């Protein structure tokens, strides 16, 4: 049976959700989606950027991640509103609940997008395009905002399809459609290809996704290392990742932080990641649990998100072990050039602290030392405060404090 995967993406999520709130909850008559408008942060900080904009604002040249001053120069009459985060989380939860009525497996990828495994559901909901239209129209009728739905046989192609013409559309991108629908697109439109990488590829004469797909993979690995191999696979529509829904008993722990400066150096990124690992490890030990899956995510200065994960050989809650794995994952994920605006560390595969661990002759002493070190640090922080003790790396001119990061959505 052919696999059928949907990617559901809310159109201009924050702007749409804000418009719905003002129309349905406040009784306003003006729809933000129909006028030049944007949801933005505080102009005095790095959060003072455009988070979401309306189509009229987009036609004026306003882009997501523009600073407020840049956006106002392009569109002086644009209405700007602050984000209403609690409401946005309610809207996110509501549309995910609808999706779960149509698929046994729904993976929430971010606050405004999700994957659905629709394989074998044709007898219930009809052919994929019919089912997608049904879901899309129901979300609009019941919740008041529109979505795009991409349909394919894997997650990558479904996500690419959902980015085609917007808003309120259903698109397919099956393997047999790749050459006609995806290959002509500029290489920067490929998932996981950031602005800096696209520029680098352009300098090599690789300007379209088709160019990338037909370039020798060995050459790409020489130029871009591991990322070159991944991009080549993506350009050919290859993706083996499965739609996976975390169960309540497999809850994750995570932290992320939006930075007041762009991270462009590996060592600076490591210091930020270490501070996030400190908090994750502390919370794991406090709850008496261990994790077996670790993921790292980052958001570029263009607000494009990338994520990579690995499964551990044995569950852990040791800060140093989590950090060691995080560094390896980050090295595989980042091209070393793209400016980073946000970093996150996420974990899943939660088990009890007494879960059996495969002993390793060469690491047994280390594990015991990690346990004692973590215990001592936890006790000091519990008694004297979070910043009463920190690692020496933060004395080397780093721009972060020794413990940072807000709780991620999965915690």
Reported as a single tens digit per residue, the pLDDT across 319-341 is: 889 999 999 999 988 988 888 98
pLDDT category at 392 given cuts 50, 70, 90 is: low
Q: Would you call 260 exposed, middle or buried from its count of C-beta atoms within 10 A (0-12, 13-18, 19+)?
A: exposed
- pLDDT for position 402: 44
One-character DSSP codes across 353-384: TT------TTTHHHHHHHHHHHHHHHHHHHHH
Worst-scoring range by mean pLDDT, 3-7, 340-344, 388-392? 388-392
Q: Which residues contact 211 (CB under 8 A, 6 or more apart)?
A: 187, 205
Checking if the pLDDT of 223 tops 80, the result is yes
Secondary structure tally for the chain: helices H, strands E:
15, 14
Say which residue, 207 or 245, is predicted with more confidence: 207
Domains for the chain: give ranges and CATH numbers: 15-83 (3.40.1170.60), 182-235 (1.10.150.20), 248-407 (3.30.1490.100)
Mean pLDDT of 138-152: 97
- pLDDT for position 110: 82
The per-residue pLDDT for range 82-105, each reduced to its tens digit, is 888 889 999 999 999 999 999 989
- pLDDT for position 67: 81
The per-residue pLDDT for range 331-386, each reduced to its tens digit, is 988 988 888 988 999 998 888 766 555 444 444 456 566 667 777 777 776 666 65
- pLDDT for position 189: 93
φ, ψ of residue 57 in degrees (nearest 5): -70, -40
- pLDDT for position 262: 82
Angstrom distance (rounded) from CA 390 to CA 400 = 11
pLDDT category at 257 given cuts 50, 70, 90 is: confident
Mean pLDDT of 18-36: 95
- pLDDT for position 50: 86
Name the percent of the chain lying above pLDDT 90: 50
**What are the structure tokens assigned to 256, written together?**
């992320």
Checking if the pLDDT of 250 tops 50, the result is no
Q: Is 321 a catalytic residue?
A: no
CA-only gyration radius of the chain, Å: 22
pLDDT category at 393 given cuts 50, 70, 90 is: low
Active-site pick, 34, 70, 97, 113: 113
Mean pLDDT over the full length of the chain: 84
- pLDDT for position 411: 35
Around Cβ 134, how many Cβ atoms within 10 Å? 14
Q: Token pair 């037909």 is at which residue? A: 214
Checking if the pLDDT of 221 tops 80, the result is yes
Angstrom distance (rounded) from CA 190 to CA 122 = 29
Mean pLDDT of 273-300: 88
Angstrom distance (rounded) from CA 302 to CA 345 = 20
């Amino acid at each position: 049976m052919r696999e059928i995967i949907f990617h559901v993406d809310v159109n201009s999520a924050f702007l749409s959700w804000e418009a719905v709130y003002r129309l349905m909850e406040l009784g306003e008559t003006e729809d933000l989606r129909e006028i030049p408008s944007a949801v933005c942060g505080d102009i005095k900080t790095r959060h003072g950027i455009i988070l979401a904009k309306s189509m009229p604002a987009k036609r004026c040249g306003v882009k997501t991640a523009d600073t407020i001053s840049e956006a106002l120069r392009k569109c002086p009459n644009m209405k700007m509103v602050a984000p209403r985060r609690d409401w946005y989380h309610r809207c996110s939860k509501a549309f995910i609940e609808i999706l779960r009525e149509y698929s046994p497996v729904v993976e929430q990828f971010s606050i405004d997008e999700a994957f659905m495994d629709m394989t074998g559901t044709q007898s219930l909901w009809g052919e994929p395009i019919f089912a997608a239209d049904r879901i899309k129209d129901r979300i609009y009728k019941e919740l008041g905002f529109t979505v795009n739905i991409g349909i394919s046989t894997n997650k990558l192609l479904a996500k690419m399809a959902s980015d085609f013409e917007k808003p309120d559309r259903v698109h397919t991108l099956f393997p047999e459609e790749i050459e006609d629908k995806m290959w002509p697109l500029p290489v920067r439109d490929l998932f996981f290809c950031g602005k800096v990488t696209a520029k680098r590829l352009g300098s090599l004469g690789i300007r379209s996704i088709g160019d990338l797909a037909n370039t020798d993979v060995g050459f790409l690995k020489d130029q871009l290392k591991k990322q070159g191999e991944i991009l080549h696979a993506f350009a050919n529509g290859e993706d083996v990742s499965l739609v996976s829904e975390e169960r309540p008993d497999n809850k994750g722990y995570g932290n992320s932080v939006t930075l007041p400066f762009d991270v462009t150096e590996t060592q600076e990124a490591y210091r930020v990641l270490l501070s996030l690992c400190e908090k994750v490890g502390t919370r794991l030990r406090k709850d008496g649990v261990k994790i077996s899956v670790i993921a790292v995510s980052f958001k570029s200065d263009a607000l494009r998100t990338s994520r990579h994960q690995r499964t551990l050989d044995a569950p852990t809650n040791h800060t140093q072990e989590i950090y060691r794995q995080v560094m390896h994952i980050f090295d595989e994920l980042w091209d070393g050039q793209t400016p980073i605006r946000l970093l996150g560390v996420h974990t899943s595969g939660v088990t009890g602290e007494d879960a059996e661990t495969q002993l390793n002759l060469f690491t047994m002493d280390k594990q015991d030392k990690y346990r004692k070190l973590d215990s001592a640090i936890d006790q000091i922080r519990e008694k004297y405060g979070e910043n009463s003790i920190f690692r020496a790396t933060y004395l080397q001119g780093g721009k972060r404090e020794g413990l940072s990061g807000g709780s991620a959505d999965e915690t």
